[in-house]
Chain A
Amino acid sequence: EPEVTQTPSHQVTQMGQEVILRCVPISNHLYFYWYRQILGQKVEFLVSFYNNEISEKSEIFDDQFSVERPDGSNFTLKIRSTKLEDSAMYFCASSVRGQETQYFGPGTRLLVL
């Protein structure tokens, strides 16, 4: 069964450093999403992406965040200058056009020191 993959599984970084989280969505999916989950909190939406542009973003997704689809398979989330409060699990998800069901990757656990 096809699945969403994410790398790395864990990332530890120093405050102020840039990080790039990578995702490979399911191959025939056209909509891509990033969510985050701070430890003990609910899953929160960050951004959605379709047709090579952002379709929707939340208040969390400020100027420190960016997304890119650099090639036909990868979908990346970049945090330019990490803060302590960026420590969280980051999930990538994808979906088929016209279907609300989203499939999640295993996540990247980001720890900012």
Chain B
Amino acid sequence: RKEVEQDPGPFNVPEGATVAFNCTYSNSASQSFFWYRQDCRKEPKLLMSVYSSGNEDGRFTAQLNRASQYISLLIRDSKLSDSATYLCVVNKPGNTPLVFGKGTRLSVIA
């Protein structure tokens, strides 16, 4: 079983749409959870950390379900500039290696 699994997509959505991405992780020792964004041929950039209680940052909402080992990202009112690959990332406590999913590609269409 892959450590972090994501639907690769692509998700093609019109501007203004709401889109949700899901991710599952296999290592129950994982303690920290993130969504990174990666543009084509660029570095991963932190979008948001994911907290147990769920958290929101503007149009982005992240949820964590530790019992199901499941993480989600909701993007509301999609913009053209949201087009990118969204990477689900986990790691164990401390300054430990990040474990990446393969990413979900999003294309927002005018």
A residues with a Cβ closer than 8 A to B are 31, 33, 35, 41-45, 48, 50, 55-56, 58, 89, 91, 93, 95, 97-107, 109
Contact = CB atoms under 8 A, between A and B. Distances in A.
Contact of A98 (B31, B87, B95, B101): B95
A30 to B, nearest CB: 8
A42 B101 contact: yes
Interface of B: 31-32, 34, 41-46, 49, 87, 91, 93-103
Chain A interface helix/strand/loop/mixed = strand
Contacts, number: 57
B58 to A, nearest CB: 18
Contacts of A42: 87, 100-103
B96 A56 contact: yes
A97 B95 contact: yes
A107 B42 CA distance: 7
B40 to A, nearest CB: 11
A100 B91 contact: yes
A34 B104 CA distance: 23
A100 B95 contact: yes
B25 to A, nearest CB: 13
